[in-house]
Chains A and B, each alone.
Chain A
Amino acid sequence: MSKFVDQPTIFDRSSWSLEQIVEHFEAERSRQLRRGRFVQLLQVLVITGLFGGAFQASGFFSSYLGDGAIGRIANFLSRLFPHLQPDRLFEDRATSGSLLYWLYDLNLWLKLLAETVQIAIVATVLGAVLALPLSFLAARNLTPARWIYWTVRRTSELVRTLPDIIVALILVAAFGLGPIPGVIALTLGTAASLTKLFAEANEAADMHQLEALQSAGGNWWQQLRFGLIPQVLPNLASYSLLRLEINVGGAAALGIVGAGGIGVELSRAITFTEFDTYFALLLLTVGLIFVFDLTSEAVRDRLIGAEKAA
């Protein structure tokens, strides 16, 4: 008798013994595991092949520039890190290997960092001030007319699709070098993104308070001012602080196209291949963003905490 004759088929499982059920389950499980492993292996092979092809096509390993990818990376890293000498660390600016030699223009950099912060703060505040009224028009539950909602939403989407750096590049051509093009570019980006975030916060607000004010005779603005804004203010402040953090980084980058701030020096350091200077500026910028992150996080927590405690 064939071994298949003794084994019940899938259609007559009711007659299976417990051992048969377990045996069948184990067999089925092993089969599925084998199939899963095979598919995974196939995926790894395909992805590896694609990576290999991409590296080859991009000339990563076979570039004519220098001595191969690993060598170039090592060369870049050696030029990126400052060659500080422990015994000369606190010597004057003229001594190679000292901290002051590495940070040779620290005063200017700090001044430019301050300008970066100013650009970020001004752009965030102006952007938030612009976004607030627009968010009322872009909220489904508050807009006076559907076409206004549609227009504001689509316009803010359009502005959001333009990278800040491209807008700044255009504005530098129009206004000249300096922080003003940076402020305008970031203000536009901030207003567009905050309009969307504020509008969504407005849409999630409890309408009962607005209806109560409407029934008491309050006009549209009074309903918003006393019924809506107190509800959504912690959210709006939180989104604005988040945007401020983003704008600090953004303002640093905008200097690369001449829109003021630390980016001007970053751009100069890259152009003149002063990679250790570039690293110093990068550290200062990252440090600044850390400080901003921590501060705004504390303010945000306080705002939300205060709201919960109230």
Chain B
Amino acid sequence: MIRLLALCFALIALPFTVHAAPLRIAVVTLAATGCDDGLAKKMGGEVFVRHLQKRLNTIVRLCGFANSTTAMQALGAGKVDLAPADQASYLPVRDKVRATLTARSAKGAGRVMAMAMVTKASGRKGPNLLIGAKPIFVAAGEVTHDAPLAGLRAAGVDLSKLGSEVLAGDLVRAASDLRSGKGDVLVVYASHYQRLCRGDKPNEKPCDDLKEIWRGRPAVTQALAVRRDMQPDLRYQLISIFIAMHLEAPDAFAFATRTTPGAASFDPTEAEALVEIR
């Protein structure tokens, strides 16, 4: 009985065991300060550090860098574990680090997923074969037009070489314009794609005659980056903490997004999200 009791207390104590390695987070300050225990207080980030320590069950330290380039170099060198990145600072160390989280803006479309579809009969196989093709959009607007175009640009499509745009006015007409040859490629965002191609009944395939040649999202300008060799478990843990931070600890969220005003929440992101043209 005593052995069973000891086992039970060991089970209860298991979640409270502290991880050995502290988490070092790079922050951009006026001057490089290194990893300093007092930096969180100086920068008003105590709530942020406390929240991460509680959720990660480990020591969290802020490390000051003069700019994001030096912060990313430190990340690449393994001197810190998490750092703010922009497109310029990411590229030199992209083989060692990856984007992992990005702040979603409260306004605007954000990183809306978009798709490009052609008719199967057209024979087009990829976004790079769209030179001269007339794109069809459901309507002008940030979500229906600008964000999908930005996504295409990030996919390497030279937008200046596309043909004249067709603005269909509604989704059904846009699909009909593609089928009738009024345009060559239908560019829609994810929600429109679902409505158009999901069908009302099981096994119904309304887009059976169409072919998706691209799907993607626009690049981001800022992200939080980690080392590519970071343990997946720790990366997932960080993602889950940051995703819920705006709800669980709004003050910590405000500190984490102090350089991206208007941020509403964090989103997970793909490794190469900071690369403008992939």
Contact = CB atoms under 8 A, between A and B. Distances in A.
Interface of A: 115, 118-119, 121-122, 125-126, 129, 179, 183, 206, 208-209, 212-213, 215-218, 222, 225-227, 230-231, 233, 306, 310
B233 A226 contact: yes
A209 B1 CA distance: 40
A81 B56 CA distance: 55
B277 interface: no
Given A122-B5, A227-B240, A212 B11 contact: no
B51 A222 contact: no
Contact of A209 (B4, B5, B244): B244
Nearest to B248: A310
Nearest to A222: B236
A171 B270 CA distance: 55
Interface string B249-278: 100000000000000000110000000000
Contacts of B144: none
A226 B238 CA distance: 9
Residue of A125, A233, A306 with highest tally of chain B CB at under 10 A: A125
B54 A125 contact: no
B12 interface: yes
A14 B11 CA distance: 77
A212 B8 contact: no
Contact of B239 (A119, A121, A212): A212
A230 B55 CA distance: 8
Contacts of B15: 233
B100 interface: yes
Given A222-B233, A226-B239, 5 more contacts: A126-B4, A216-B236, A216-B239, A218-B232, A222-B232
A130 to B, nearest CB: 11
A306 B239 CA distance: 21
Given A209-B244, A226-B239, A125 B233 contact: no
Contacts of A115: 1
A216 B237 CA distance: 11
Given A115-B1, A122-B1, A179-B1, A216 B11 contact: no
B8 A125 contact: yes
A208 B244 CA distance: 9
A213 B1 contact: no
Contacts, number: 71
A121 B15 CA distance: 17
Nearest to B237: A226
A37 to B, nearest CB: 55
Contacts of B51: 310
A215 B244 CA distance: 15
A121 B244 CA distance: 33
Contacts of B247: 206
A121 B232 contact: no
B54 A126 contact: no
A209 B240 contact: yes
B1 A230 contact: no
**B: interface residue count bin:** 20 to 34
A226 B236 contact: yes
What is the interface of chain B mostly: helix, strand, loop, or mixed?
helix
A121 B241 CA distance: 31
6 contacts: A183-B1, A209-B240, A215-B268, A217-B232, A310-B55, A310-B249
A218 B236 contact: yes
A192 B160 CA distance: 64
B5 A212 contact: no
A212 B243 contact: yes
A65 to B, nearest CB: 41
B240 A230 contact: yes
Nearest to A223: B236
A179 B1 CA distance: 8
Contact of B12 (A125, A179, A233): A125
B2 to A, nearest CB: 8
Contacts of B236: 213, 216, 218, 222, 225-227
Contact of A206 (B4, B55, B244, B267): B244
B122 to A, nearest CB: 31
Contacts of A233: 15
B5 A216 contact: no
Contact of B8 (A121, A209, A216, A230): A121
Contacts of B5: 118, 121-122
B132 to A, nearest CB: 34
B244 A216 contact: no
B58 to A, nearest CB: 14
A126 B8 contact: yes
Contacts of A310: 51, 54-55, 248-249
B124 interface: no
A11 to B, nearest CB: 53
B26 to A, nearest CB: 21
A125 B100 CA distance: 37
Contacts of A217: 232
Contacts of A122: 1, 4-5, 8
B104 to A, nearest CB: 11
Contacts of B249: 310
Contact of A183 (B4, B54, B100): B4
Nearest to A126: B8
B268 A212 contact: yes
A223 B240 CA distance: 9
Residue of A129, A225, A226, A227 with highest tally of chain B CB at under 10 A: A226
